[in-house]
Structure 1
């Protein structure tokens, strides 16, 4: 479909890895520590893409404007740091997809809004990321998605034209950022998405229901 593509950039949580179990566990520990009943993972999963804001919203009904939110967020962060690779795994088909990209001599990288505090140790501990040509976090540049600057930074690190990249993500912000960077965009419809997400309104160039479907778009499937 896209013969000019030289590299593929991916969002992290909900696109390459399922981190919802560890994110949910970090928030649920806060409930249990306060004598509240545990919630099932299913309660947290759909908001995993929203990070601390989403997890604290589910666990305690908090918003960033709530009193004490900053302290609760830091407690969540500490919990998450202790467990962030215990239950996190790559989605089915991701490893095969990456191997196929490498076999086709296509570069790949990660652009996430997750902060370096978590992205760096997580990607170091998961062998999947050893061949990533770039890993850009939400605080690597002065801007986070949907601003295109993190995508531009990844392209610079890979020494390629942004217009030769495609960006794959499971959030509307990913598609907005990719379009702003002049990249082809792919909506990962198997990701977290959120309760009210309608990917048909995002303006993505393509939609996939599994990682392997990306290879078909690239003529590699």
Structure 2
């Protein structure tokens, strides 16, 4: 069993938004509402900077803004981030059933590893966006997580809240599930992603697996 992190296991949007708004404040700009940032929480620096400064990778000055954002985020990333309601019970249910689970995120290990530890997410494997040299939707991070867990990819289910999660899972030969409680991107539409399961709340996963 594999999970995405931001928007699937944890709600980190407020801390990501706070880092972006701190950058705006330093430049004499008014803060943007969390509601505007939230759908882009799964895209990390790219999503936050896109909203805060209408910029994107490859544009002039983006790399400098990204470095500043990541430093600011590192200072606040524990302030408000928590597991979504029901996640802790879900993970306990998996453990009680003897199922191993891991995290595959595009978040760099610099942030993913300490954040998971601080939140008590005792994953059997954590693969970040810089672990394999590839980020989702490339299947390499998911395949690496399966290898670390000692589980065949075809027996894995990957749960995520972004289309790239479903694409990555499919490319890795895994079953997929959409975490519809997550960020879901700007449109919020997910039914065309083609996931094998659509879960509206964390507890539904245990039911789908016959564990509740």
TM-score between both structures, scaled by the size of structure 2 = 0.97
1:97 aligns with 90
Give the match for residue 137 of structure 2. 146
Residue 164 (structure 1) aligned with residue 150 (structure 2): no
Displacement of 1:142 in angstroms is 2.1
Q: Give yes or no for the alignment of 1:205 onto 2:190.
A: no
Partner of 1:134: 125
Look up the SS of the partner of 2:126 in the other structure: strand
1:2-32 deviations in whole A, cap 9, x for unaligned? xxxxxx1000000000000000000000011
Gaps of 5+ in 1: 1-7
Secondary structure of residue in 2 paired with 1:107: coil
The aligned residue for residue 38 of structure 1 is: 31
Does the 8 A contact of 2:100 with 2:124 survive in 1?
Answer: yes
1:177 is aligned to 168
Q: Does 1:61 align with 2:54?
A: yes
Note the C-alpha offset of 1:57.
1.1
Matching of residue 18 in structure 1 with residue 11 in structure 2: yes
TM-score, scaled to structure 1: 0.93
- Report whether the alignment pairs 1:111 with 2:107: no
CA distance, structure 1, for counterparts of residue 59 and residue 171 of structure 2: 33
Distance of 2:196 and 2:156 partners within structure 1: 13
Distance in 2, Cα, partners of 1:120 & 1:190: 23
SS at match of 2:101: strand
User: Hey, which bits of structure 1, 4+ residues long, moved more than 2 A?
Assistant: none
1:73 to 66, 77, 85: 66
CA distance in 2, matches of 1:28, 1:75: 12
Task: Say if 2:206 is the partner of 1:215.
Answer: yes
Q: Secondary structure at the match of 2:56?
A: coil
* Inter-partner Cα distance in structure 2 for 1:63 and 1:158: 35
CA distance in structure 2 between the aligned counterparts of 1:161 and 1:36, rounded to whole angstroms = 50
Q: Residue 83 of structure 2 contacts residue 119 of structure 2 at CA under 8 Å; is this kept in 1? A: no
1:52 aligns with 45
Q: Distance in 2 between matches of 1:55 and 1:132?
A: 27
**What is the CA–CA distance in structure 2 between the aligned matches of 1:69 and 1:40, rounded to whole Å?**
22
Output one character per residue of 1:52-100: Cα deviation in whole Å (capped at 9) or x when no partner.
1110111111122332111111110010000111110000100000010
